[in-house]
A and B are shown apart, each in its own frame.
Chain A
Amino acid sequence: MTDRDTNRWRGVTALTFAAGALGVALQEPFALLVGVVGVAFAAYASAGTAPTVDLRVERTVSDPRPDPGDEVTVTVTVTSEGRWLPDLRLVDGVPDALAVVDGSPRLGTALRPGRRAAFSYTVRAQRGRHAFDPLHVVARDFSGASEREVRVEAAEDADPAIVCAPPLTTALDGVPLRRQTIQHTGHVTTDVGGSGLEFHTTREYRPGDSLTRIDWKRRAKTGEFTTIQFREEQAAVVVLLVDTRDEAYVRYDDTSAVEYGVRGAGEVAAALLDEGDSVGLASFGPHWTWVAPGLGRDHRLTLRDTLALDPGFEPTPPDRQFLSALTVRRLRKSLPGDAQVFVFSPVLDDDIADAVRRLEAYGHATTLISPDVVTGSSSGATVARIERAARLRSLRRAGVRTVDWNPDRPLAAALADAERGWRR
């Protein structure tokens, strides 16, 4: 709470002096009489004191759980529970990540005791949990000579947050995974014969082979027992790592690279879960967030909520310090030995390139999906573009699969293009 003199009436006594001077000099009593006006307003200005602000603030939102891009109307009602507030200026604490698209989150009003005033505005919903900041209040007295500035929290039962958690959906028709060895049925095809769907080879029957895999036609024809081998399909363990460091909050088309990363991770997660792969999630940023790989509907919900709402994936840049080495160490400790890693990062600095290279070197097959968010034709942008291309090249040489993703195009198209490159 701050009390201030606005000093707006500072010059008003000068009027009295001017009137007095003129009146005395010209011996004109009426001019002197006019000077009374100056004195009266000076008295008016010094009569008031900064008003006591006793407000009850209630906030309602039209939809507390919108989808991204939906418009949400926020209505703020203030009730004066104390004295008369003749000049009340209110600015609502709109969450940082939400843009006001219609109306104004501000109100100038006057409130008699017990009266209420309301204003509303519309914001466009974005992924994340958005709590409102306190209402910023400036109250002046009648003359406006003194003012009090306070922040008022909305009443506890009337302070909803906007929670926007988009469902995990995907436009991807499968995700190209790297080869690996692990013993779960799934969708990484291997060159190992065994149980599966696709024919691989036949071999001599060995005791213990499943009856369903015996080639009964050949048995009928020749009398030998042979066993059919199918191409073994394995489930992959994939951990999605989203770059959420300050460096990744670079905007492209009004959306940050972190946002593209989170969307990409959501798509990949949905596609992999649909295929029966086990999917984990981690945040490469100052808020360490880790979801161990898993399967199933509950896990899908966990992933969805973590991606949308966890502080590790916040839509606004973090204000904490980030320690790259510590995070890589934590990540190594948490990653299952056979896990593949999908990294989502704009790769605008060497730290992340280093981290990716190390993951690959530690034996985690790593795929980098990099939204290309560098725009503009300034020399800075050109340098950033050249450096980024060099980093991607060097990662490719180190064995990392890279996908250069232009965010204007769907991820599916970028993946398809990249896959063509890997096959060559």
Chain B
Amino acid sequence: MSAITRRPTRLGSGISVLVAVTALATLLAPPSVGTLVAAPGVALLGVGLLRGRRAPVTAGAALVFVGVLVHATTTADPLLPLVGAAATVVAWDVGEHAISLGEQLGRDAPTRQASLTHAAASGLVGLATAGGAFVVYTATSRGQPLAALVLLLFAAVVLTTALRR
């Protein structure tokens, strides 16, 4: 048992695929062209995690994100696309984390705590983002043009980031 099994951790891969499927699920009511774009993305992400390769995971997540964007142009309510986009990023984050844990520690090492903490943090950020964006949108959408509002949101986030440095 001298060789390390350098494959992505099971828990992280499982969470990643589950979250990716959730992202896909947000595009089902009702299905659109975006759903058709996103579905193979989820499959690609799953294959990437099985193989332990980063490129397919990233490509798959990108495809799902494009699907979410396309789908967002067809809906009347931004909540589901926001959740879908956040879930896509979380799925990629947890998946990549599982791959890196697998590379550094191997599948035989206990990594549960690290996977769970990372997934929880990522999930919280995703939820807060989607929720926050939706709340700001609903609270202020009357009157102002949405583009101005979104740019304002961008500016606020970018500014905070810049100030933190």
Interface residues of A (CB under 8 A from B): 6, 8, 11-12, 15-16, 18-19, 22-24, 26, 28-44, 46-47, 86-89, 91, 99-104, 106-110, 117, 119, 138, 142-144
Q: List 11 A-B contacts (CB under 8 A).
A: A15-B65, A33-B81, A41-B93, A41-B126, A42-B157, A47-B161, A103-B108, A104-B106, A104-B110, A108-B113, A119-B110
| A residues in contact with B82, CB < 8 Å | 33-34, 36-37
Q: Chain B contacts of A104 at CB under 8 A? A: 4, 105-106, 108-110
Bound CA–CA A82/B87 (angstroms): 32
Docked CA distance A345–B66 (Å): 68
The segment from B36-44, B45-53, B67-75 that touches chain A is B67-75
Q: B76 CB to closest chain A CB, in angstroms?
A: 9
Say yes or no: A30 contacts B105, CB within 8 Å: no
Chain B minimum-CB-distance residue to A140: B118
Given the known inter-chain contacts A35-B150, A39-B158, please indicate yes or no for A89 contacting B101, CB distance below 8 A. Answer: yes
Given A37-B133, A47-B161, A100-B1, residue A30 in contact with residue B75 (CB < 8 A)? yes
- When distances are taken between beta carbons in the complex, the residues of chain A under 8 Å from B126 are 37, 41
Known A-B contacts A89-B101, A106-B109, A143-B121; the reply to A41 vs B150 at CB < 8 A is: no
Complex Cα gap A376–B163 (Å): 66
**In the bound complex, CA of A133 to CA of B111 (Å):** 22
Is B125 in the interface zone, CB < 8 Å from A? yes
CB closest residue in chain A, given B68: A34
Whether B81 contacts A30 by the Cβ 8 Å rule is: yes
Q: Is the CB of A39 within 8 A of B157?
A: yes
Q: What is the CA–CA distance of A28 and B34 in the complex, to the nearest angstrom?
A: 14
Q: Indicate with 1 or 0, residue by residue over B119-131, a CB within 8 angstroms of chain A CB atoms.
A: 0011001101110
Q: What's the nearest-Cβ distance from chain B to residue A38, in Å?
A: 8
Name the B residues within 8 Å of A41 (CB-CB): 89, 93, 125-126, 129
Besides A29-B145, A40-B157, 6 more A-B contacts (Cβ < 8 Å) are A34-B78, A40-B125, A42-B157, A108-B101, A109-B110, A142-B121
**Is there contact, CB below 8 Å, between A40 and B69?**
no
Which residues on A sit within 8 Å (CB–CB) of B89?
12, 15, 37-38, 41
Q: B142 at interface (Cβ–Cβ under 8 A)?
A: no
Instruction: Please name all residues of chain A whose beta carbon is closer than 8 Å to the beta carbon of B33 when the two chains form the complex.
Output: none
A87/B146 contact (C-beta < 8 A), A11-B58, A28-B73, A36-B154 known: no
> Assuming A86-B117, A104-B108, A108-B111, is B153 touching A36 (CB within 8 A)?
yes
Whole-angstrom CA separation of A89 from B97 in the bound complex = 12
Assess whether A37 is in contact with B114, with CB atoms less than 8 Å apart.
no
Which 5 interchain pairs have the tightest Cβ spacing? A108-B111, A29-B146, A108-B114, A110-B117, A106-B109
Contacts of A99 in B (CB 8 A): 2
A109→B114 contact, CB < 8 A: yes
Cα A52 to Cα B56 with chains together (Å) = 33
A-contact bits for B72-109, CB 8 A (1 contact / 0 none): 11010010011001100100010011001100111011
User: A42–B158 Cα gap in the complex (Å)?
Assistant: 9
**Residues of chain B with a CB closer than 8 A to A117's CB:** 113
B161 lies within 8 A of A107 (CB): no
Q: Nearest chain A CB to B10's CB is how many angstroms away?
A: 12
A422 to chain B, nearest CB (A): 42
Q: Which residue of B lies closest to A41 (CB)?
A: B89
The chain A residue sitting closest to B82, CB to CB, is A34
| Complex contact A138–B114 (CB within 8 A) | no
Q: When A41-B89, A104-B109, A108-B109 are in contact, do A34 and B125 touch as well, CB less than 8 Å?
A: no
Contact partners of A119 in chain B: CB under 8 A: 109-110
- CA of A104 to CA of B81, assembled, Å: 42
Contacts of A101 in B (CB 8 A): 1
Q: Is the CB of B105 within 8 A of A29?
A: no
Contact B125 A30 (CB under 8 A): no
B139 interface residue (CB < 8 Å to A): no
**Do B147 and A29 touch (CB < 8 A)?**
yes
Bound CA–CA A104/B137 (angstroms): 49
CA A89 to CA B118, docked complex, whole Å: 12
Specify which of A8, A34, A42, A103 is in contact with B85 (CB 8 Å cutoff): A34
A319 to chain B, nearest CB (A): 22
Name the distance in Å between B61's Cβ and chain A's nearest Cβ: 9
Interface centre among A18, A36, A42 (most CB of B within 10 A): A36
Evaluate contact between B150 and A32: CB separation under 8 angstroms: yes
**Smallest distance from the beta carbon of A21 to chain B beta carbons, Å?**
9
B161 & A91 in contact (Cβ 8 Å cutoff): no
Residues of chain A within 8 A (CB-CB) of B165 are 46
Chain A residues, CB < 8 A from B112: 108
Contact between B115 and A108, CB atoms less than 8 A apart: yes
By beta carbon, the residue of chain A nearest B116 is: A110
- Distance from A149 Cβ to chain B, minimum over Cβ atoms (Å): 10
Q: How far is the CB of A246 from chain B (nearest CB, A)?
A: 22
Q: Which B residues lie within 8 Å of A40 (CB)?
A: 125, 128-129, 132-133, 157
- Name which of A43, A91, A101, A119 has the most chain B CB atoms within 10 A of its CB: A43
Given the interface pairs A40-B129, A110-B113, A144-B118, the reply to whether A32 lies near B104 with Cβ below 8 Å is: no
Answer whether A18 and B65 are a contact pair too, CB < 8 Å, given A12-B89, A100-B1, A108-B114.
Answer: yes
